[in-house]
Structure 1
Amino acid sequence: MMKQELMTIMEHSTVAKDTYMLVIQGESVAPPIDPGQFVHVLVSRDFFLRRPLSIADVNFANGTLTLLYKELGKGTQALSLKQVGETLDVLGPGGQGFPVESLNIEKALLVGGGIGVPPLYYLAKQLTDKGVAVESVLGFQTKEDVFYEEHFRALGEVRVMTNDGSRGDKGFVTDGLPEGEEAFDMYFSCGPAVMLKAVSDQLASYPGYISIEERMGCGIGACFACVVPADSGKGYKKICRDGPVFRPEEVIL
């Protein structure tokens, strides 16, 4: 159930080019919160729409959520100026996350692109806690955009891809995917739609889940602003309510 709360900023720092880590604390941080879910943040009364931010980590003992976001416009620019000790109006957690508890796998492949990387970190932690081996392929534009590489390395194998080759290997995430029929049991991917389509096409022989990045309006499935065509060709899926996590065969990218 989504809850609305004024949450306190405990930490706010830069982790890469135009990319920030925001740690907020509140009484509503309690189980269950699934990897892949998001919170809808009201930056200020100057902005009509809330900003959806993926949950990168959760600490139930401290009552904190870690959010990673990129400065992409006036709203996130204003958010980047918020200071420790200030409060934010937060609605969440929202959406459908990755079904970690129902999985029966031994090895998982995580594929993230840019700001699609954050929810995969919380997922990686949850999977390793269940004894699942995790391998990650993380894609960024340049070395200045890379973040959380060491966090992922602490949990398993990592391959970093950059468009210009300035960090890790040169190419897109699809260029860094492992090969072989038994390389992993299931894949999980988050990033822009064009990346998700390329990943799901290349890994079509494997079962998997994708998490779609999309701007949202209401965040609760009422406004129809964030939709994706259903694979049946009839109707649409609401990313904020039916997703953002889907099986690739459920939607048309």
Structure 2
Amino acid sequence: MKRLNLNVVSQVMIADNIFELTVEGEGVESMKVPGQFVHVRTGEGFSSLLRRPISICDADTANNRLKMVYRAQGKGTAWLSTRSRGDKIDLLGPLGNGFNQDVVEAGGKALLVGGGIGVPPLYYLGRKLAQKGVAVSFALGFQSSKDAFYIEKFKEIGRVAVATADGTIGKKGFVTDVMDKFTAEQPVVFACGPSPMLRALNHKTEGLNAYYSFEERMGCGVGACFACVCEAATPSGYVKICSDGPVFKKEEVSI
């Protein structure tokens, strides 16, 4: 982990209150593991001491460019959404333990399942797996077409199925409603999203090798404050999402 002071290259609103922020600078070269996150300072002065965890959407480690996709829904992320080219972003990273790509070999199949703001880290993962020779499919869930993003980008990597709660794009329903044609192929499953989505996946991934990335509120981001503790099958009976995760094999954490 390093404290980085990165330059804003661009910021674009890509869906309703969803922003794509690209930054560059020394330190991005270490962000090679999909599923890790950065802890971003979102303001100035004492009111911004608590950072916000944002997943790594993509990283160009050769050119030191980092891409983050996040929802502006509070004071801190609203401030972040006003940053523009030439501004500096203070962040800690990379943090956490990401997706283990070694669990699927070249020539194998992987299904990446994401819901809402859990979708962004799957882009970097999907790109890396495809480069390795893995056949990648995506099942993506959004509330509505106005909340959807990156669908065409995902189609450049592999097959894509989309579900929206209101049916304005893709199939009406939840992401679990569009998974069946992919799970029949017995893929390794990687998922990221809110706990209700992950809980619903347990039935759909029965008998499959599955790994979940958990979304939890965090304080420190480095395992010191115990703000993101979840019940788990460990000797201590718990895990810290920020430092032990955020990615776990599905049997390891109680949802």
Q: Which amino acid aligns with 2:8?
A: I
Q: Does 1:227 align with 2:229?
A: yes
Deviations 1:209-253 (A, max 9, x none): 000011110000000001110135852110000000000100000
Q: Which amino acid aligns with 1:191?
A: G
Task: Give TM-score scaled by structure 2 length.
Answer: 0.95
Matches within 5 A, 1:136-175: 136-175=138-177
- Extract structure 1 runs of 4+ deviating beyond 6 A: none
Name the structure 1 match of 2:12: 13
Work out the CA distance in 2 between the residues paired with 1:93 and 1:232: 25
Name the structure 2 match of 1:201: 203
Name the structure 2 match of 1:36: 35
Q: Which amino acid aligns with 2:13?
A: T
Q: Does 1:83 align with 2:88?
A: no
Work out the CA distance in 2 between the residues paired with 1:199 and 1:43: 33
Work out the CA distance in 2 between the residues paired with 1:103 and 1:133: 10
Tell me by how many angstroms 1:31 deviates: 3.7
Work out the CA distance in 1 between the residues paired with 2:37 and 2:31: 13
Name the structure 2 match of 1:188: 190
Q: Which consecutive unaligned segments of at least 5 residues does structure 2 have?
A: none
Work out the CA distance in 2 between the residues paired with 1:243 and 1:155: 26
Tell me by how many angstroms 1:26 deviates: 1.4
Report the RMSD for the aligned CA atoms in angstroms.
1.5
Q: Does 1:52 align with 2:58?
A: no
DSSP-derived class of the 2:245 partner: coil
Q: Does 1:25 align with 2:24?
A: yes
Q: Which of the pair is proportionally richer in helix?
A: 2
DSSP-derived class of the 1:119 partner: helix
Tell me by how many angstroms 1:60 deviates: 1.3
Work out the CA distance in 2 between the residues paired with 1:246 and 1:18: 29
Task: Give TM-score scaled by structure 1 length.
Answer: 0.96
Deviations 1:123-180 (A, max 9, x none): 0001001100011000000000000000100011001100010001100011111248
Work out the CA distance in 1 between the residues paired with 2:59 and 2:250: 26
Aligned length: 252
Matches within 5 A, 1:211-250: 211-232=213-234, 234-250=236-252
Q: Does 1:4 align with 2:3?
A: yes
DSSP-derived class of the 1:30 partner: helix
DSSP-derived class of the 1:250 partner: coil
Deviations 1:85-141 (A, max 9, x none): 100111000000001145326110010000000000000001001100011000000
DSSP-derived class of the 2:121 partner: helix
Structure 2 contact 214–247 (Cα < 8 Å) conserved: yes
DSSP-derived class of the 1:249 partner: coil
Q: Which consecutive unaligned segments of at least 5 residues does structure 1 have?
A: none
Work out the CA distance in 1 between the residues paired with 2:103 and 2:251: 19
Work out the CA distance in 2 between the residues paired with 1:58 and 1:32: 7
Question: Cα 1:181–1:36, aligned 2, differ >3 Å: closer, same or farther?
Answer: closer
Tell me by how many angstroms 1:62 deviates: 1.6
Deviates more, 1:198-207 or 1:142-151: 198-207
Name the structure 2 match of 1:116: 118
Q: Which amino acid aligns with 1:6?
A: N
Deviates more, 1:232-241 or 1:163-172: 232-241
Q: Which amino acid aligns with 2:36?
A: Q
DSSP-derived class of the 2:39 partner: strand
Work out the CA distance in 2 between the residues paired with 1:26 and 1:4: 12
Deviations 1:44-84 (A, max 9, x none): 23312001000010101220110000012111111111111
